[in-house]
Structure 1
Amino acid sequence: MTPRLEEITPRNFETAIGIRVRPGQEHAVEPVERSLAEAYVHPPGVAWPRLILDGTRPVGFLMAFLDIDWYGDGSVRRSGLWRLNIAAGEQGRGYGRFAVASVGAEIRRRGGSELYVTWHPGTDGPEDFYLRLGFGKNGETSGGQTVGVLGLGDA
């Protein structure tokens, strides 16, 4: 099957909140419930939550942030991957790579040319995954997390 994204709706809400990462990874990413709550409290269009399916099988969840005021002062606007939860039994099968590519495509569709992400530093975090995908550390931190950026080419 080919993975695909599906908007979160009342029909698939329970499926989405059932996504759980591997034990020991919980400290590195918030649960889907928190992501959906955060999506709800931000202005419309800021959060882009999606269920990741392979056929009809739920394999993960992602949430992008789109055109946010990064520093809260109007000086810099950014878009990127806010959350990525790949189900425990589905990791290592390319769904994370698919998620990042999907967010990149949505950002490009909206005219953006960079995809930002943050991650918890440390050997048990996702840093190697993001670096393998081509993200570079930009020297910033956000909430104690490393900030990475991936150029998307011509928007």
Structure 2
Amino acid sequence: MSGSEAASGRRLTPVTPENFDAAVAVKVRVDQQHLVAPVMKSLAQAYVYGDAAWPRLILDGDRVVGFLMAFVGIDWHEDGGSDLRSGLWRLNIAVGEQRRGYGRFAVEQVATEIRRRGGDRMFVSYHPGPGGPEVFYQGLGFKPNGESAGDQTVAVLDLY
């Protein structure tokens, strides 16, 4: 963590029995609920996907401001090929906490974790269109790679 992050009190922490209720209480704005799954679904997926899921609360001091879940080393090809990928699976910044740099902080922390594990690319998928996070991710350097995941656009950020 850089000095400015430490000074601001921003940090990630694992979801534990002690902070579970605070995690599932994280809600995005009503107009964004169709864009990102609720934290409860993410935690269920983290249980099912085990070591591939990396769920974390985003804190500012002791205050929960959001939730993220990364994926690490998931084989993207279902046809027997091998294409291990890591990236941001979910990003839920709480109502009233958006536009304060927490999303950028979260993406940077996931990128750091992927690098720590030896990765050099970070993937994300998002719902395109008005009100979606496309501008946010492109502003961080993510570029659509021509793929889709269901109705979502897949984008990649080179980490080297």
Structure 1 length-normalised TM: 0.96
* C-alpha displacement of 1:75: 2.0
SS at match of 1:64: strand
- Deviation string 1:119-141 (CA, Å, 9 cap, x unpaired) is 00111110000000000010110
SS at match of 1:130: helix
Query: Aligned partners of 1:82 and 1:74: how far apart in 2?
Result: 21
Residue matched to 1:54: 60
Runs of 4+ in 1 over 6 A off after TM superposition: none
Query: Aligned partners of 1:39 and 1:145: how far apart in 2?
Result: 20
Residue matched to 1:22: 29
Gaps of 5+ in 1: none
* C-alpha displacement of 1:88: 1.1
Query: Aligned partners of 2:150 and 2:110: how far apart in 1?
Result: 22
Identity %: 61
* C-alpha displacement of 1:143: 1.1
* C-alpha displacement of 1:23: 1.2
1:32 counterpart = 2:39: yes
* C-alpha displacement of 1:57: 0.6
Give the CA RMSD over aligned residues: 0.7
1:88 counterpart = 2:100: no
Residue matched to 2:5: none
Query: Aligned partners of 1:16 and 1:125: how far apart in 2?
Result: 23
Query: Aligned partners of 1:16 and 1:74: how far apart in 2?
Result: 36
Matched residue pairs, number? 152
SS at match of 1:27: coil
1:107 counterpart = 2:151: no
Letter in 1 for 2:54: W
Residue matched to 1:146: 153
Matches within 5 A, 1:66-85: 66-72=72-78, 73-85=80-92
* C-alpha displacement of 1:144: 1.2
Structure 2 length-normalised TM: 0.93
Query: Aligned partners of 1:124 and 1:88: how far apart in 2?
Result: 15
Residue matched to 1:63: 69
* C-alpha displacement of 1:70: 0.7
* C-alpha displacement of 1:61: 0.1
